[in-house]
Amino acid sequence: MTQFAVVPLTFSTVIAEYESAVDDLSGIHKKKGGGKSRSSSGIIFENVVTKTCQILGMEAKKNDYKRSEFIDGLHLPKKQVDAHIYVNGILKKMVECKTYLDSCYLDRAMSDLKKLVNSPDVPDDVEFAIFAGQNGCDDNTLAYCKAEFKRDTGKILNTFFINPQYKRDSKRPIYNPDYRSHFYLDVVEYNKFVEWVQK
């Protein structure tokens, strides 16, 4: 029986796997179309978060549903974001992942995160973030929404953009090899996320 060496997961391998997965998107787009390449790109960013947590001895859970708060005896039973991060079995962080963050995605993410802030299943000291490739929001919109989140919840909405070289441009998608340089992972920005996760 063939034995394969187990390569330890490191931050360098997470970055290398990210770059390789982005390289593969053009082929996925050609063979399977835009829908598949879009869903595949989203998974790439989720995987960066999940694998980063593995390195740090944390667990990033998906489909880890929480109840909303009860209003007039009613509640929503299945609220979640892309990564619920646990340390020694205790929920510490909640992260929504996006290939890019535009104002529509930001509004939806804020709505979900606010419900989770108020969930009876979420401890009061949990911190919240959006982890994305490119920022598609103008500066005023992003600042306003973060201020609104703080006013409504008392919490800081952290944002991390690991492809900060260019603003989001729908004519320059992540799967187009002509714009591959727009989507290199920025190590400085990634390290800011790593530091925040460990706080």
Query: Does any domain span residue 5?
Result: no
Query: Does any domain span residue 27?
Result: yes
Query: Does any domain span residue 193?
Result: yes
Angle at 188 between CA 187 and CA 190, to 5 degrees: 60
Query: Does any domain span residue 3?
Result: no
Query: Does any domain span residue 1?
Result: no
Query: Does any domain span residue 92?
Result: yes
Q: Residue 159 in 3-state DSSP?
A: strand
Ranges of the chain with pLDDT below 70: 1-8
Tens digits of residue pLDDT in 122-154: 999 999 999 999 999 999 999 999 999 999 999
Query: Does any domain span residue 2?
Result: no
pLDDT for position 8 = 63
Residue 181 corresponds to which tokens in the numbers above? 């340089």
- Give the burial class of 197: count Cβ atoms within 10 A of its Cβ; 0-12 exposed, 13-18 middle, 19 or more buried: buried
User: Please, which residues have CB within 8 angstroms of residue 26's CB and are 6 or more apart in sequence?
Assistant: 175, 176, 177
pLDDT for position 34 = 83
Q: Which domain holds residue 147?
A: 11-198
Query: Does any domain span residue 125?
Result: yes
DSSP β-ladder status, 157-161 and 127-135: parallel
- Please tell me the total count of domains within the chain: 1
pLDDT for position 167 = 87
